[in-house]
Structure 1
Amino acid sequence: MYRDNTKVVKIGKCVIGGGNPILIQSMTNTHTEDVAATVAQIKELTKAGCEIIRCTVPTKEAALAIKEIKKQIEIPLVADIHFDYKMAIMAMENGADKIRINPGNIGGTDKIKAVVDVARERNIPIRVGVNSGSLEKDLIEKYGGVTAEGIVESALDKVKIIEDLGYDNLVVSIKSSDVMMCVKAHELIAKQTNHPLHVGITESGTIFSGSIKSSIGLGLILNQGIGDTIRVSLTDDPVREIEAAKLILKTLGLRKGGIEVVSCPTCGRTRINLIDLAGKVEKMVSGYDLDLKLAVMGCVVNGPGEAKEADLGIAGGDGCGVLIKHGEIIKKVPEEELLDTLRYELDNWNE
């Protein structure tokens, strides 16, 4: 499934490319200068399953903060740079494991070379990022608008600038909020470079629209074996990005672990507040590192049969609930004890 002909790139203690597992990224929304807040958020994201974190570095204070942040976190830190090449250099000098730049907006070749020289000296990978929203005017004119072809050409032009400076420790990122344009761009660039690709649908939206757009886009891209790291960009708590990314990878069969919750859509037979119950179950099981399927059903009559393909299930109605294992009812409890019964079963699953 993986595009295993990509180069292997080391980011801190992590490796991507070359057929290695796809890693999940997110980005802090704190002020990087606020070390305590940034570290707290990174730790929360790490607990949720984030494997690489990106922090914005717009100021000297933010660049200096990286040194202290790095002392308190366990995952690699990527410094996100816009416009000021000096921030990229300072970020690397203060311990950034990787930097993200768009060579087209940090100045002339001399400034890009200054960044590359420090990256080479410290063997720090550079992520070359290009978004459809920042596509150059000449490429828009060439292709008659913002197109997948234009995005790819822009990205490869930026990659060549750095390669011509004798450095190829690179990761490439091409993003668009247009899902199908983004898919096409990744299909094109995967044929033209062997640098690892960071994949995401940028500015995808809220938890609802963003999750749907990201699932479609990432699903179509990853299912072709394209992509080495991913980020689900959501206008929400970054932890939600990790949860969505994990489920996308699990659904595609690219990652194991974590409880998959399935639930019926409710109908006239439902005799329990299934929407509330399913939400509580999903929140509860997020902390378990178990590789199983859990069904939440709203009818004790048909629930066991409908849940037979799940490893474990619960169903409720009319004040009572049942615990189901592989389609068989193993326990009947009062409705108010259903969640605690399920929790006990999960706590003792491997015993």
Structure 2
Amino acid sequence: MNYREKTREVHIGDRVIGGGHPILIQSMCNTKTENVEETAAQILALEKLGCDLIRVAVPTPEAAKALGEIKKRIHIPLIADIHFDYRLAIAAIENGADKIRINPGNIGSEDRVRAVVDCAREHGVPIRVGVNSGSLEKDLLEKHGGVTAEGIVESALNKVKLIEDMGYDNLVISIKSSDVLMCVRAHELIAGKTDHPLHVGITEAGTLIEGNIKSSIGLGLILHQGIGDTIRVSLTGDPLEEVRSAKMILRTLGLRKGGIEVVSCPTCGRTSIDLIGLANRVEAMVQEYPMELKVAVMGCVVNGPGEAREADLGIAGGIGEGLLIRKGEIIRKVPEDQLLAVLKEELDRIAAEKES
């Protein structure tokens, strides 16, 4: 079942999620939000790479005030992440946040939650209700015998009902755990119990390698079931890496088109060039091209043309020389140190043709 088609539409700035709309990629700045220049610069870099929504921490009144100035400099919706102080949620909305993220459980009394909801209603700002496995209430821990998928879902739905009972349903739900299979199970459970859009991610996934593996498995299992309207790959590292990974996950699952896919062979005893370095340089270079292509990077001129046949373009290295390959056909032989340059020339030519 494709649950994405059954979720209700929610407008976040000029973007729409839910109702079968394309899955959007979200990331979060690791700058101090109070530093407008640095935060805006990071968001612009994320935009260029393909980030659709950006979240920033709002831990102080100064951070809330900075939102208005940041919004003037960026082009994607700005989401304010709030914990504990309901006044910061209100200030964030009043300063132009396109969405706020709260956990009603740590905002305080029902009156404080209502004050946030009333302000969101007045400004037409959606609320993301976020629950993490590490923040489950004591009674739910006792009821379910510890942290469980069932407890996470019950906690989230209780908080959603609290806000719905206040007459507001412009909501997005987020339920996260660092336990991949628990997170998958929680999304399977909640998908059939709500029609609110779901923001999906594996929280605190880890460093670049471990975080990417856990996020790819978790998001892959969830998204493949038709669950999820926005995603974030949570990594301990540069937010740009989160966007790169999210794009690759969506493209691999067939949920997003566009961009260049790089395929490369593993190194072996026949490899006589710096294939690892070359593949990494190609991967970095192709980020700037929006067209949809497959590029192969091969380390052997013996099998390179054949292995690259399914790619639109390919390069294969030999002893001091290399080949430029198009659809499996050799079109040029060049010195090894020119391989990257001739590949770029060909990509530039293709880009120019597509623009004309």
Report the counterpart of residue 275 of structure 2 in structure 1.
274
1:1-351 to 2 correspondences below 5 Å = 1=2, 3-350=4-351, 351=353
Q: Distance in 2 between the 1:343 and 1:2 partners?
A: 41
CA–CA separation in structure 2 for the residues paired with 1:30 and 1:183? 30
Distance in 2, matches of 1:95 and 1:3, equals: 28
The amino acid that maps onto 1:259 is I
Task: Return the alpha-carbon distance in structure 2 between the equivalents of residues 268 and 63 of structure 1.
Answer: 57
**Taking structure 1 as reference, are residues 348 and 175 closer, same or farther at Cα in structure 2, changes over 3 Å only?**
same
Deviations 1:246-272 (A, max 9, x none): 000000000000100000011111111
Q: What amino acid is the match of 2:5?
A: D
| C-alpha displacement of 1:2 | 5.8
Q: Deviations over 1:250-305 (max 9, x none)?
A: 00000000100000011111111100110010011111111011100000011001
Q: Contact (CA 8 Å) 2:144, 2:151: kept in 1 or not?
A: yes
- Alpha-carbon distance between aligned partners in 1 of 2:267 and 2:291, rounded to the nearest angstrom: 26
3-state SS in 1 of match to 2:22 = coil
1:39 partner letter: A
For 2:296 and 2:70, locate their aligned partners in 1 and report how far apart those are by CA, in whole Å: 40
Give the CA deviation at 1:3: 2.0
Give the C-alpha shift of residue 203 in structure 1: 0.3
Distance 1:41 1:227 in 2: 26
Which 4+ runs in 1 deviate beyond 4 A? Answer: none
| CA distance, structure 2, for counterparts of residue 237 and residue 105 of structure 1 | 28
In 2, distance between residues paired with 1:204 and 1:94? 31
- Equivalent AA in structure 2 for residue 255 of structure 1: R
CA distance in structure 2 between the aligned counterparts of 1:166 and 1:290, rounded to whole angstroms: 45
Q: Distance in 2 between matches of 1:264 and 1:171?
A: 41
**Alignment partner of 2:344: what SS?**
helix
Per the alignment, in what secondary structure is the counterpart of residue 255 of structure 1? coil
Q: Does the residue aligned with 1:217 lie in a helix, a strand or coil?
A: helix
Letter in 1 for 2:234: S
Instruction: State the identity as a percent.
Output: 73
CA RMSD of aligned residues (A): 0.7
Q: Which amino acid aligns with 1:27?
A: M
For structure 1, list consecutive stretches of 5 or more residues without a partner in the other structure: none
In 2, the alpha carbon distance for the partners of 1:266 and 1:131 equals 41
**In the TM superposition, what is the alpha-carbon distance from 1:131 to its structure 2 partner?**
0.1
Number of equivalences: 351
**TM-score normalized with structure 2 length:** 0.98
Determine the C-alpha separation between the residues in 1 that align with 2:141 and 2:33. 34
Cα deviation per residue 1:76-118 (whole Å; 9 max; x = unaligned)? 0000000000000000000000000000001111000000001
Counterpart CA distance in 2 for 1:336 and 1:242 is 30
Q: Which runs of 5+ in 2 are unaligned?
A: none
Cα shift at 1:149: 0.3
